Amino acid sequence: MALCAPTHNLSLSSVKSHARSRRGYGTGMVAMAASYEYEEGQLESPKWVGQTPLSRLVRTIISFKPLYSLLKLGARNVLISTAEKKNIPWREMTKEILESDVYKELERVQNPSLVYPDYYLNSFHAYDEGNLSWLAAAEAEAATMSMARRAIPDASSLDEANEIIRGNWLQAIEQHHLQYSGNSTIRDILDVGCSVGVSTGYLADNFPSAKVTGLDLSPYFLAVAQFKEKKRSPRKNPIIWIHAKGEDTGLLSNSFDLVSMAYVLHECPENAIVNLVKEAFRLLRPGGTVALTDNSPKSKILQELSPVLFTLLKSTEPFLDEYYLTDLEATLREAGFVNVHTVLTDPRHRTVTATVPH
């Protein structure tokens, strides 16, 4: 996750007005045309990725283990302090989860026979155990809130920031599906890499008549997702949580109308990204939509990160270079997708949508 304050050229008032006027495709209303517009940088990807001198220097710094440990600690402290300055009670939220009955959910969601891919056993986000820990799971929602506030720093509240980020993302999905699906209804949704269920909940709220499944490799994240979902009012279609690999879900072919991956791919090496896309193609029905939202290599904000911030960022994201250098649009086409479209849905993030041919 990026750590600096972005700027953008779309007024909050216009986005807010637009978001309130739009109606979800899942409710049977036609989505309005996209009105968001964000500034791209002049490069195809940031100078601090790949084999550039700057990128090699950062890798050399990170490879020095004592310094790497300090960088991870620094990155973590920056994340927490930045969040709490934005009135996100990071430590309080974490304590509430860790002192709850969430642990009872682990046995209910965990697949004990699952073999984790090697890349997933890396340290992520300054956690030595990566995503396979209670602390990572307990802090995930606060980290997601912090991401929203960093992306839209002049939003008056977290709700307003989420209204822009999530609203634009959902609208990109709705608009693409309406245009290219051949009038097929979104009945079944799979949220791959669902973490603690934040994006899954937005999808379920926006498409209330659909059956929504959240899938993740971390049983700790899924336990938190299920625990939090049980505390809210019951849904017409309860969310199903599955502990499985996104590259090899074991789910039936042609069984979903929408496969979403939100803020997942930057944590994956290139071969995993390719396999995730191939699996999404297998799972989708003809006319189905895949939606991938994540950091944009062309984001002007990310291209202009300060050396301190991008060094901290790369110290917590082991596969960031591979993600930025992967041609995601070409990967989708090679898997068989058509109608591939990319749009910046906030100053830092792109949403890439594509269709399975009829």
Domain coordinates in residue numbering, the chain: 44-357
- Non-local CB neighbours of 20 within 8 Å, separated by 6+ positions: none
Give φ, ψ of 7 to 5 degrees: -125, 160
pTM for the model stands at 0.89
Q: Look at residue 36 in the predicted model and tell me its pLDDT.
A: 67
- Non-local CB neighbours of 97 within 8 Å, separated by 6+ positions: 137, 138, 224, 227
CATH topology of domain 44-357: Rossmann fold (3.40.50)
Q: Look at residue 14 in the predicted model and tell me its pLDDT.
A: 36
The full 3-state SS of 7-49, as one line of letters, equals CCCCCHHHHHHHHHHCCCHHHCCCCCCCCCCCCECCCCCCCCC
The pLDDT tens digits of the residues spanning 15-71 come to 343 343 333 445 432 233 344 689 899 989 998 888 888 888 888 887 777 777 787
Q: Which residues of the chain have pLDDT under 50?
A: 1-25, 27-35
The pLDDT tens digits of the residues spanning 205-251 come to 999 999 999 999 999 999 999 999 999 999 999 999 999 999 999 99
Q: Look at residue 99 in the predicted model and tell me its pLDDT.
A: 98
Structural element, H or E, at residue 293: strand 284-295
